[in-house]
A and B are shown apart, each in its own frame.
Chain A
């Protein structure tokens, strides 16, 4: 049974297509990152999953239930942290969690939930006095009530400081470890990279890629950067423009030279050994070799800036046809 599935999901506002023909499958137990620039359609997709908005075409299902046809059944099994929500200003943090516990007919201990999201000390403070980050933690705590099978979180790291982001990563990992599916959108790419089993990238309402971060990197980043650390003996006649003949090699696209290192951009990773040999042939002594990998941020930028409307989404091992 899949946790989340969309089939040809489309939402139009007049002439504007917010999401277009999105096919997506999230398996149970996955931590799935939903990436995309502002306005890409992430929140629209999540809003359809939560039955906040109705699709123009296509369908969505959460745990095999249609959120539009059976919203209550879906909500009984999920915990959500929506985008652009607000709390009851005059209710305390504990009262919010108790409210969620009663609504879900759950047996959770409110203090334990508040402890998990780091609000134990502010439990009796009114939510209206909370900072943005505290409000986000509280809403996340409410989403955890009842041990939901699926957590759908829209930008959970919004307003959270770096320490808090680490805590949230730990918390999401704990939820996944107990068997929950975690589906979340985020701009914090390092957070997505750190914990997600798979990611998908959405841009301009279209799904561009679905895969593991590693496979996405492999498929997109055919370029790699070889960094060679050279013998530290300074050469008084060092020419920083000397490329050691590397640019004569096919598939070496750029060379940057410093006093102690060479940064070699390779269009084909297979050229790396030839590049090292070429440098050593020129008499230089290579003392360390490093290969820079593209960060998820680089991949994200590459995907979203190079995307061509109507192009087929990327399929990679570990992913599926997006």
Chain B
């Protein structure tokens, strides 16, 4: 593998030679197996099994992105390596962009070890996985992972220590993922409707069917501000769009909230990186 960017290659080489990358790869594969072994019936012959299985990554993948990305920039400052790198013909902005790129490549390498495992499990149990299902699922998963990685690297460019990055990202993980539906979304509902109940606002049936497009309009948008909800919507929405494009049919679910969900993931990817890069260009590197 050859890259034209020496900084990207150096960062990847350094990471790959650490045990961490191999441990994370093994851990992700083990998680996929363990999850399947705990409940083999999660893969049935129903359509979109591959997409449903990919949803298990919703809670794991952010943690992997955080571990891979948290030290991308802040470690350079803590160790002083940034001084060595900025002795080369580089700008601070290009440093942030290229180190994000390096971490993204490592992240995808780890993910690419787990995807074939999922694929094999689904094919063995159901007989096949459609190309469109695969493309929609892996594409959405990649975007979801990049959203968390972008946010993490952005915070890494701002924070003063690795611990700060982990602290901020764990708070984000808790609020945007673990507590999003049971707490944050209910607070949103309470603020708008006067009631903390969200059951009437959205139908939690089979996400493969609902595609998160039904319910009160404002809530469909607000709910997708959480990256996990945006990811779930994007998985099934993108599959429907691809199917419609391939067959010449129409998309049954409304585009607005689902495109908004895609935009939310892109925003989580880009905005923290922009803010982090802006900050990093102005800060004293002592």
Instruction: Give A residues with C-beta under 8 Å from B.
Output: 47, 50-54, 71-72, 75-76, 78-91, 95, 98-100, 102-104, 139, 142-143
B interface, CB within 8 angstroms of A: 6-7, 10, 13-14, 17-18, 79-81, 83-84, 86-92, 282, 284-286
Contact check, A99 vs B80: say whether CB atoms are below 8 A apart.
Answer: no
Give chain A nearest CB distance to B101 CB in angstroms: 15
Residues of A within 8 A of B18 (CB): 90
Tell me which of A51, A103, A139 contacts B7 (CB under 8 A): A103
Residues of B within 8 A of A53 (CB): 284-286
Q: Chain A residue with minimal CB distance to B282? A: A54
B104 CB, nearest partner CB in chain A, Å = 19
Contacting pair A91 B90 (CB below 8 A): no
Are B84's CB and A87's CB within 8 A? yes
Complex Cα gap A237–B1 (Å): 89
Closest residue to A143 on the B side, CB-wise?
Answer: B87
- B10 partner residues in chain A, CB cutoff 8 A: 88, 91, 95, 99
- Judge whether B285 and A88 touch: CB under 8 Å: no
Known: A47-B286, A103-B7. A90 touches B17 (CB 8 A): yes
Which residues on A sit within 8 Å (CB–CB) of B90?
A: 72, 75, 103
Known: A75-B88, A76-B89. A91 touches B80 (CB 8 A): no
Q: A72: which B residues are within 8 A, CB to CB?
A: 89-91
Q: How far is the CB of B14 from chain A (nearest CB, A)?
A: 5
A86 and B92 alpha carbons, distance in the complex (Å):
17
Asked whether, in the complex, the Cβ of A54 is within 8 Å of the Cβ of B86, the reply is no
**Chain B residue with the shortest CB-CB distance to A146:** B89
Give min CB distance, A80 to chain B, whole Å.
4
13 A-B pairs within 8 Å (CB atoms) are namely A51-B86, A52-B285, A75-B89, A81-B87, A82-B84, A84-B83, A86-B81, A86-B84, A91-B10, A95-B10, A95-B13, A102-B6, A103-B89
The answer on a CB contact under 8 Å between A86 and B79 is yes
Q: Which 4 A-B pairs have the closest CB atoms?
A: A102-B6, A82-B83, A80-B87, A90-B17
Contact between A90 and B284, CB atoms less than 8 A apart? no
Chain A min CB distance to B99 (Å): 13
In angstroms, how far is the closest chain A Cβ from the Cβ of B282?
8
Contact status B83-A85, CB under 8 Å: yes
Given contacts A54-B284, A90-B17, A104-B89, contact A139 B6 (CB under 8 A): no
Known: A53-B286, A75-B90, A102-B6. A142 touches B13 (CB 8 A): no
Interchain CB contact under 8 A, A85 and B81: yes
Q: Judge whether B6 and A103 touch: CB under 8 Å.
A: yes
Residues in A with CB closer than 8 Å to B6 are: 98-99, 102-103
- Contact status B13-A103, CB under 8 Å: no
Q: Contact: A139 with B84, CB < 8 Å?
A: yes
Contact A100-B286, Cβ < 8 Å, known A90-B18, A91-B13: no
- A104 near B88: Cβ-Cβ < 8 Å: yes
Residues of B contacting A95 with CB < 8 Å?
Answer: 10, 13
Q: How far is the CB of A119 from chain B (nearest CB, A)?
A: 16
- Residue pair A75, B14 in contact (C-beta under 8 Å): no
Q: State in angstroms the CA–CA spacing of A86 and B10 once bound together.
A: 14
A132 → B minimal CB distance (Å): 13
> Are A91 and B87 in contact, CB atoms less than 8 angstroms apart?
no
Contact (Cβ within 8 A) B286 A142: no
- Among B14, B86, B89, B92, point to the contact of A88 (Cβ < 8 A): B14
Residue of A nearest to B81 (CB): A86
- Chain A residues whose C-beta falls within 8 Å of the C-beta of B89 in the assembled complex: 72, 75-76, 103-104
